[in-house]
Amino acid sequence: MAMKALALAQEYSELCRKFRRDLHQIPEPELNLPETSQYIQTVLQKYGIEYKLLLEGNAIVALVKGQDPNADADHNCLAIRADMDGLPIKEATGLEFSSKHPGFMHACGHDSHMAMALTTAVILSQHPNFFHGTVKFLFQPGEEIPGGALPMIKEGAMQDPKPNAVIGLHVGNLLEGVKNGQVAFKSGALMAAMDKFTLTIKGKSGHGANPDRSIDPIVIAAEVILALQKIVSREIPPVERAVVSVCKIEGGFTQNIIPDQVVLTGTSRSLNAKVQDLIERRIGEIAQGIAQTYGGSVELNYERYYPILNNDKNFTERVKALAKEMFQDRVITIENPTMGGDDMAYFLNEVPGTYFFLLNSMTDENGHYYSNHSDHFTIDESSLVTGMAIFLATVEDFLN
């Protein structure tokens, strides 16, 4: 059954490549994507595909209806999600279709995600007898930051009709030790909860030659950074996975002035709600205790960004079986979750579904992969067929 889906994906491969290259040239960040949104709308209009706009026109929900849109109530709507935003990176790929927007780049493959979803929508609009029910396409801004999935849900993206399941994918070099062209699935927790913390450490400024007359927030910050590493190594069970990383330090004016404050910013990742709670509590307690020891104080701002991304076991195994039918040994199982985060998690909290990885980064002259978020990142376009074929096979299987 899945081979018909593969044949359709191959038939439309050049259109997908065109969409990807066009979209690659117009990266836009966060939640403000007017040019990207307009491009997708133009294609949808050309093929007569129904859609509505959310988030002030920066998010798109499109509907493609097959035979008997009101078929089997338990299997009458499947959602396909594609994130849309680019990154504030100056592109250095040298591609003939490089970014036309200075300082911005599609360095995480979202151009490919859009292209595969958009081409799938076109294919289904041209082949309504391929499936029953409705396919809902969720074109989402702001995956990198500040998050677009939850605002879309709040504006009704998962209603009228409500999907019975949702599927999405991510391209790039996301796993170590895997071959280009492989497709990776995992049931259960795939990606970690992603939180941000900011510690504002306050002391008393003074002359660097007279530290005894000041309260040095730099010294406090240094001890806080080291102490926070003990949360994972000494307070979280070894069988659990967690990360606490301080990634930004702001403080000081010049070489002979002790500043009045230092700001630490970092990220924490967890795969367990209790561990997430513990990390938040202990960051505050440890930082406050050290600051008070040296006569200072601290303010913690802890923001919970994206929740744990959980794939439904039954649906994931179903899609994986379809992928294996088409791509055999290219389909692999992920053993351990990644500590990256993605707000696809919000859609998966609404309905069962799956999020899988399409491993397709291009390599440099030495055979090394350029990672996602690299200014040299690009993809092997031959793999676009793979993603489309899996989407189409899932539509055919789930909506028939």
CATH code of the domain covering residue 141:
3.40.630.10
Question: Where is the domain boundary, 306, 335, 363?
Answer: 306
- Dihedral of the alpha carbons of 224, 229, 230, 232, in degrees to the nearest 10: 140
Is 110 annotated to bind ligand? yes
Question: Where is the domain boundary, 277, 306, 335?
Answer: 306
CA distances (Å), origin 2, targets 79, 180, 230, 320 = 18, 22, 50, 11
- CA–CA dist 48, 113 (Å, integer): 21
Mean pLDDT of 176-198: 94
Residues for the chain: how many in total? 400
Is 373 annotated to bind ligand? yes
Mean pLDDT for the chain overall: 96
Its pTM surpasses 0.75: yes
Q: Could you tell me the pLDDT band of residue 71, with boundaries at 50, 70 and 90? A: low
Digit-coded pLDDT (tens) for 215-237 = 999 999 999 999 999 999 999 99
Residue 32 sits in the same domain as residue 173: yes
pLDDT of residue 164: 97
Digit-coded pLDDT (tens) for 272-288 = 999 999 999 999 999 99
Residue 3 sits in the same domain as residue 133: yes
CATH number at residue 252: 3.30.70.360
Cβ pair 88, 31 in contact under 8 A:
no
Cβ pair 66, 123 in contact under 8 A:
no
Q: What percent of the chain has pLDDT over 90?
A: 92
H runs (alpha helix) in 127-231: 149-154, 217-230
Q: Which residue has the higher pLDDT, 109 or 369?
A: 109
Is 368 annotated to bind ligand? no
- Domain ranges, residue 234: 193-306
Residue 178 sits in the same domain as residue 288: no
Mean pLDDT of 315-328: 98
State the CB neighbour count (10 A cutoff) for residue 253: 10
Residue 68 sits in the same domain as residue 174: yes
- CA–CA dist 108, 376 (Å, integer): 11
Q: Which residue has the higher pLDDT, 8 or 361?
A: 8
Residue 209 sits in the same domain as residue 319: no
The residue with tokens 């995956």 is 143
Question: Where is the domain boundary, 306, 340, 370?
Answer: 306
The 3-state secondary structure of 288-312, one letter per residue: HHHHHHCCCEEEEEEEEEECCEEEC
Residue 315 CA, distance from chain mean position: 20
CA distances (Å), origin 269, targets 185, 229, 241, 338 = 21, 13, 8, 10
Is 376 annotated to bind ligand? no
Residue 79 sits in the same domain as residue 43: yes
Collapse the DSSP code of 177 into the 3-class scheme (helix H, G, I; strand E, B; otherwise coil) and give the result: coil
Is 170 annotated to bind ligand? yes
Work out how many domains the chain is built from and give that number: 2
Residue 176 sits in the same domain as residue 117: yes
Residue 240 sits in the same domain as residue 359: no
Q: Could you tell me the pLDDT band of residue 362, with boundaries at 50, 70 and 90? A: confident
Cβ pair 206, 258 in contact under 8 A:
yes
pLDDT at residue 72 is higher than 70: no
pLDDT of residue 73: 61
Residue 165 sits in the same domain as residue 280: no
Residue 214 sits in the same domain as residue 172: no
The three-point CA angle 363-114-111 to 5° equals 35
Digit-coded pLDDT (tens) for 122-180 = 999 999 999 999 999 999 999 998 999 999 999 999 999 999 999 999 999 888 878 88
Residue 147 sits in the same domain as residue 24: yes
Sheet containing strand 59-65, edge to edge, reads 50-54, 59-65, 134-140, 77-83, 165-171, 353-358, 183-185, 331-333
Residue 109 sits in the same domain as residue 245: no
List of E strands, the chain: 50-54, 59-65, 77-83, 134-140, 165-171, 183-185, 188-191, 193-202, 206-207, 242-251, 257-258, 261-270, 297-306, 309-311, 331-333, 353-358
pLDDT at residue 321 is higher than 70: yes
Q: Which residue has the higher pLDDT, 367 or 53?
A: 53
